[in-house]
Structure 1
Amino acid sequence: MTVALMWEARAVPGGGAELLAWAREQRLAQEPARRETFRAPQDRVLVVTWWEASYDDPDLPELPDPPGDLVGRPVHRWRFESVG
């Protein structure tokens, strides 16, 4: 089964480039099958990783929370399983 982990953070005003750089530097304990990083208006950064694992696998590595001075609100995380 394919599981996608989504990590989304919103930077402090004007801090989008710094948050994006921080997210791109983060390494996971395991390599995902795929990883993509996105940016959006309002200094938001999204990282999606794809894994061949079960939905409830507790050992899938996730990105940590960034330093508090980079974010304007708590990180949002979602987990999805492929249905296709």
Structure 2
Amino acid sequence: MTVALMWEARATAGRGEELLTWVREQPLADAPLRRETFRAPQDRVLVITWWDAPYDAELPELPEPDPELVTRAVHRWRFETVAEG
């Protein structure tokens, strides 16, 4: 099964590039199958990692950034792949 972990944060005004740099520098304890980083308006940063693991597996996640760097707590979601059709 493939599990996708999503991590999304919104930087404080004008600090989007700093948050993006911070996210890129964060290592994970294990290597995922895939890791992608996205940005969006309002200084939002999204990271999705894909893992070959059961849905409820204990997986490494990105930490919370310093509170001064973000406007709120990080949002986290976990998804599993479903068969097409």
Query: For the superposition of Structure 1 and Structure 2, which TM-score range results when normalised by the shorter chain?
Result: over 0.9
Provide TM-score, normalisation by structure 1: 0.97
Unaligned stretches of 5+ in structure 2?
none
Give the TM-score normalised by structure 2: 0.96
Say what the alpha-carbon RMSD is for the aligned residues. 0.5
Structure 1 runs (4+) deviating above 2 angstroms are none
Q: Secondary structure at the match of 2:68?
A: coil
Partner residue in 1 for 2:73: 74
Q: Return the alpha-carbon distance in structure 2 between the equivalents of residues 77 and 24 of structure 1.
A: 17
SS in 2 for 1:17: helix
Q: Distance in 2 between matches of 1:74 and 1:42?
A: 15
1:38-68 Cα offsets, whole Å, 9 max, x none, are 00000000000000000011x2000000011
In 2: Cα distance, 1:52 partner to 1:72 partner: 32
Q: Give, in whole Å, the separation in 2 of the partners of 1:73 and 1:43.
A: 12
What is the distance in 1 between the residues matched to 2:64 and 2:73? 8
Q: Which residue of 2 aligns with 1:49?
A: 49
Which position in structure 1 is the counterpart of 2:9?
9
Q: Please report how far the alpha carbon of residue 69 of structure 1 lies from its aligned counterpart in structure 2 after TM superposition.
A: 1.0
